[in-house]
Amino acid sequence: MPATDFDAERQYDDEQFSAQPVFANDRIKVVLGYFEPGQFIPVHAPGSDVAICVRDGSGVVREGDEEHRVEPDDVVVVPADVDRGVRADEDERLEAMLVTSPPPTDAEHDPVREGLRRGVFDP
């Protein structure tokens, strides 16, 4: 079983959010996400459930048409096939653990890559 912590995995990227893999198999994927102010995971709707647990900072988690304000210790769960995205507030970093089950396919991440390329949260 892998064991780590947010401090050991912390890695920020000036260009886009940083996702540090912790564990993955065919049933589950765990990543630690590090967002500079204003960075985001674009809205997309893969066929997997996701649980997002905020460790530090603040921002929003999109769940369908709702945006949940999040801060440390908040947990948001979004079911499969529902639009979701994560965005850090403009004035502080955000750190969160994201657990998806089953792991999204590469094709399901195409909207994420496109949103990042275009620089839009809600493509």
CB 45 within 8 A of CB 79: no
Instruction: Look up the CATH number of the domain holding residue 93.
Output: 2.60.120.10
- Cα distances (Å, whole numbers) of residue 108 to 26, 37, 45, 55, 70: 15, 25, 8, 26, 25
Does residue 30 form part of some domain? yes
Is 5 a member of any domain? no
Count up the domains in the chain and report the number.
1
In a domain, 20, yes or no: yes
From the list 71, 121, 66, 76, the residue with the least C-alpha distance to 100 is 76
Mean pLDDT, range 50-61, rounded to an integer: 98
89 lies in a domain? yes
Tell me what percent of the residues of the chain surpass a pLDDT of 70: 99
Given this model, what pLDDT does residue 1 score? 55
> pTM for this one?
0.93
Give domain status of residue 3, yes or no: no
User: Helix, strand, or coil here: 46?
Assistant: coil
pLDDT of residue 2: 74
Q: Per the domain annotation, does 17 fall within a domain?
A: yes
Domain assignment of residue 4, yes or no: no
Q: Is residue 53 part of a domain?
A: yes
